[in-house]
Amino acid sequence: MAPHPEVAAYRAARAATGTPPLYTQTLTEARAADLAEIRAGTGAVEPVAEVREERIPGPAGELPLRVYRPAGSGPLPTLLYFFGGGWTLGSIDTADGICRRLANAVPCQVITVGYRLAPEHPFPAAVHDCHAATRWVAGHADQLGVDPARLAVGGDSAGGNLAAAVTLLSRADGPPLAAQLLVYPNTDQSGEPTGPADDDPTLFNRRSVAWYRTHYLADEAHARDPLASPLLADDLAGLPPALVVTAELDPLCAQGQRYAERLAAAGVPTRARHYPGMIHGFFAMPGVFTDGRRAQADAAAFLRERFGLPPERAEPADTPTGTAVRGG
């Protein structure tokens, strides 16, 4: 379980500057620090043909959307992307780099949702905001230029958790979804993470997981609700095809891998991509981690395939580090 050389350099730099863990800061400080770090690690900002803001009705008031549209006219395949941040940090802005790159690389329209954050709005507020936004986008496909037959959901970390929860709700209440992109998702909040043994304060660790969970779950009993812990759902059959990305040095790694295995066992076409030596957050920091660029390219290839787009540009220039395919 040796860190990738880029991870070792990143960890050393954080230790040298004395960067405090987010879980030692106030919410205001942590939210600002989280956004600053992601912006610093995202690399060059890619231009897209159009970026615009929308506001839509949500379960408890208006929800902001940001729409990224690549060149082209007519209805486009569309990914709803839910940002990470432990349901406590994060915003539309923290997902900006990911959304721009995926919009260009697939290409597809990407819409990110400004769901409500905990602890001000604990579980299940974020889940219902994301599902409401998904239903609204599908119901206003003409207005947004969405091809409703090619609508997917995705997210990283807490956003991956929310995407998985939305697929459970959409299976029962719609809309139909073409794919789910789950990047190091939190899938089981009922116990302690079983990833790396250490609690290195320079990295996302077990204390990080506990800090976010404390803010998100006002009642510990909610940890066993499948909308908070999708791994605990009785039945995963009938969910959309999935790509699950995991990182070896992430305390959420094992539960992400178990979720991919359960999806495949339920007959869901599931592709798992595992990155040895990588850490939680690498997907959002392609300016720091080569594997972040590879993982984003692999996500684009998966979405291209599920959207039925031509295969050109489908493979990243470098072979992904660690690949496994299950369930088709």
Other residues' Cβ atoms within 10 Å of the Cβ of residue 244: 28
Other residues' Cβ atoms within 10 Å of the Cβ of residue 147: 17
Q: Is 157 an annotated catalytic residue?
A: yes
- Kindly state the greatest CA–CA separation across the chain: 52
Q: Would you say 247 and 295 are in contact if contact means Cβ atoms under 8 Å apart?
A: no
List the one residue out of 112, 279, 135, 90 whose CA is nearest residue 181. 112
250 to each of 124, 188, 325, how far by Cα in Å? 25, 14, 20
Catalytic residue among 91, 131, 280, 298: 280
Q: Is 198 an annotated catalytic residue?
A: no
Q: 129: which residues sit within 8 A by CB, 6+ positions away? A: 58, 59, 60, 63, 113, 115, 116
Q: Is 229 an annotated catalytic residue?
A: no
State whether residue 306 is helix, strand or coil.
Answer: helix
17 to each of 10, 12, 199, 314, how far by Cα in Å? 11, 9, 18, 39
Q: Cα–Cα distance between 1 and 277 in angstroms, integer?
A: 6
Catalytic residue among 250, 274, 291, 298: 250
Give 190-198's long-range contacts (Cβ < 8 A, gap of 24+): 190/223, 190/224, 190/229, 190/232, 193/251, 193/252, 193/254, 193/255, 194/251, 194/254, 194/255, 195/249, 195/250, 195/251, 195/252, 195/253, 195/254, 196/1, 196/249, 196/250, 196/251
Q: What's at 138, amino acid-wise?
A: A
Catalytic residue among 91, 96, 129, 157: 157
Q: What's at 290, amino acid-wise?
A: T
Active site residues per annotation? 157, 250, 280
